[in-house]
Each structure stands twice: as structure tokens, then as C-alpha cells.
Amino acid sequence: MVETMKRFQKQFLAGLLLWGAAGAGLLLAHHAWRLRLPDYAFVTGWVLFGFMLLLTLFNARKKLPFLPLGRSETWLQIHIGAGFLGVLVFLIHLDFRAPHGGLGIVLTVLFAVVTVSGVVGLILSRTLPKRLQTRGGEVIFEQIPAIRHGLKVQAETLALGPSANSPAIAEFYARRLADFFDGPKNFWRHLLQSSRPVNQRLAELNELRRYLNQSEGAILDRLAQLVRQKDGLDYHQSLQAALKLWLFVHLPFTYGLLLFIVLHIVLAFAFSGGVP
């Protein structure tokens, strides 16, 4: 995993230089040809459509890992670079002006959502896996609800079971811990790597200790351990969910953008004699 991350960083820096040079070349070409080349918007529109098709090939490559189509890291670098150049071509196609008309505004909004979600997804996919490694072993996402239920049963048995016999712990559990163990908590706090909620609960548990005897203190220690385990489980669920959920924004909007681009092409040919 570490070796893969280092390789990606080297490829990213090399790609940054390459795609930066390509972007500079595009800008120079734009200034040189935008007033000379007939049907310039027509040309930039088709170039943009080509970039969009190239970008969608990355998702197809991920679905066909068994085919000898090159390393996934290389495809990712191509996807990042094509995305950067695609944004630039889109701005060139607009001639760096605000869009006109309903369809133009819709296309711009869709393109912005796809671009922003792609950048967010890249950041998440590069940072969250490393953070997950710092919080215990791998936890399978689909198994988290069952593990969380097991922790809840243990906590309830300790605080409310027949052998508990501690009104103070039972009252505290009902007031401060029952809801905590009932489901995933603090999604945004975990994404921001804030430990304030769990530290507050642990501090309250420790404050309760002075009202308990030795046997009740042992129960409290076990509850504190379960709170830490539950918080770690929520941490894994929050980060893994973020890694999955951003695709539910990026992919549908990407395909929606492609459909509207096709509609734009059809309308351009229909109303301008074949020239957008």
C-alpha cells in the first residue's frame, strides 16, 4: 500500500508537469486560432466531447480489471490529466464567458458538479485509506452493522443486565450511551478527524467513577472500552461510506452530462446547418 502511494505521487508530479505543459499549449492554440479557424466553436465542441468519452473509459477500465489494458495507476493519471484538460477545453469552448440559454446553463452546472465531485473523490481516495490504517485492522463495510449490534448487546448487558445492579450506571447508559450504541454517529466529525465527541463521553464516564464502588468501576472500565471500539467502528464506517458515496454523485452526473452534450450536438446540427 505504501509503495503504491509513493508510485502514485511520483506519477502525479510527472503528470502535473506533462498536463500543465499540454494546458499551456491549448491556451496558446486558443489565442492563435480562435479568430482564424472557421467554425472554431464546432472544433472545440468535438474536442470536448472526445475528452468526455476518454474520461468515461476510466470507469469501463475499472469494471474490466482482467483485461491487459495497462496499470490502473496509469489509467488514473490519464483520467486526472484528461479531466484537467477537459475543464480547460470547456472554458475555451465557452470562450471564457458565462453560458447563454437554458441548455448552456444546465451543461455548465453539470460540468461543474462532475469536476468538483471528481476533485473531491481524488482527495478522498488518496487520504482516507491511509487514515483507515491508523485505526485498527481492516473492517469489512458490509459487516459493520452486525459488529455494532454485538457491541450494543455487550454494553446493554453490562449496564442493564441482571448482574449489573448499579442504578447510577443504568441511568447514565440510558441517558448518554443508549443512543450512541444504537447506530452510526458523528459522520462529519470522523471525516474531519475530530475526537471531541468520544472524548467527551469518556470524560463523563470517568466523572461518574467517583460515585461508584470497586465492582461498579470495573463495569465502567469495560463500558469505556466498548465506547472506544464503537467509536472506532463509526470511524471506519464514516470513511468507507465517504469513499463509496462520492461515486453516487460523480458517475450519475457524468452520464447525465454526456446525455446533455449529445442533446447539445443534435440541436446544434438541427438549428445551425451542422455547425454549433
Q: Note the pLDDT tens digit of each residue in 78-134.
A: 778 888 888 888 888 888 888 878 888 999 999 999 999 999 998 898 889 888 888
Say which residue, 151 or 85, is predicted with more confidence.
151
Sequence-ordered alpha helix ranges (H) in 64-177:
72-93, 101-133, 144-160, 167-172
Q: Is there a single domain that holds both residue 109 and residue 77?
A: yes
Query: What CA–CA distances, in Å, run from 134 to 97, 118, 125, 197, 201?
Result: 46, 25, 15, 19, 22
Q: Is there a single domain that holds both residue 51 and residue 130?
A: yes
Lowest pLDDT segment from 85-94, 174-183, 264-273: 264-273
Lowest pLDDT segment from 53-62, 153-162, 248-257: 53-62
Q: Is there a single domain that holds both residue 210 and residue 190?
A: yes
Q: Is there a single domain that holds both residue 52 and residue 129?
A: yes
Q: How many CA atoms, within 13 angstroms, populate the side-chain half-sphere of residue 22?
A: 17
Q: Is there a single domain that holds both residue 227 and residue 249?
A: no
**b/e burial code for range 102-111 (CB count within 10 A of at least 16 → b):** eeeebbeebb
Q: Is there a single domain that holds both residue 94 and residue 165?
A: no
CA distance 74 to 66: 16
Q: How confident is the model at residue 276 (pLDDT cuts 50, 70, 90)?
A: very low
Say which residue, 262 or 23, is predicted with more confidence.
262
Mean pLDDT in the chain?
84
Q: Is there a single domain that holds both residue 260 and residue 232?
A: no
Whole domain around residue 179: which residue ranges?
Answer: 141-239
Say which residue, 40 or 243, is predicted with more confidence.
243
Q: Is there a single domain that holds both residue 41 and residue 96?
A: yes
Q: Note the pLDDT tens digit of each residue in 223-256.
A: 999 999 999 999 999 999 999 998 888 889 988 9
C-alpha cell, 18:
506533462
Please determine, for residue 199, whether its predicted confidence score (pLDDT) is greater than 70: yes
C-alpha cell, 114:
462532475
Amino acid symbol at 56: T
pLDDT at 6: 60
pLDDT at 65: 58
Q: Is there a single domain that holds both residue 207 and residue 256?
A: no
Name the percent of the chain lying above pLDDT 90. 36
Query: What CA–CA distances, in Å, run from 175 to 45, 178, 180, 183, 227?
Result: 61, 7, 10, 15, 14
Q: Is there a single domain that holds both residue 253 and residue 122?
A: yes
Quick one: how far is CA 224 from the chain centroid?
Answer: 31
pLDDT at 165: 79
| Degrees to nearest 5, angle at CA 177 with 173 and 182 | 120
CA distance 227 to 157: 14
pLDDT at 204: 94
| Cα dihedral 123, 126, 131, 137 sign | positive
Domain count, the chain: 2
Q: Is there a single domain that holds both residue 116 and residue 156?
A: no
Say which residue, 276 or 82, is predicted with more confidence.
82
Matching residue, cell 492563435: 32
pLDDT at 275: 44
185: left (phi over 0), alpha (psi -120 to 50) or beta: beta
Query: What CA–CA distances, in Å, run from 77 to 19, 62, 90, 275?
Result: 10, 13, 20, 33
pLDDT at 151: 96
Q: Is there a single domain that holds both residue 234 and residue 250?
A: no
Please determine, for residue 185, whether its predicted confidence score (pLDDT) is greater than 60: yes
pLDDT at 9: 62
CA distance 266 to 45: 12
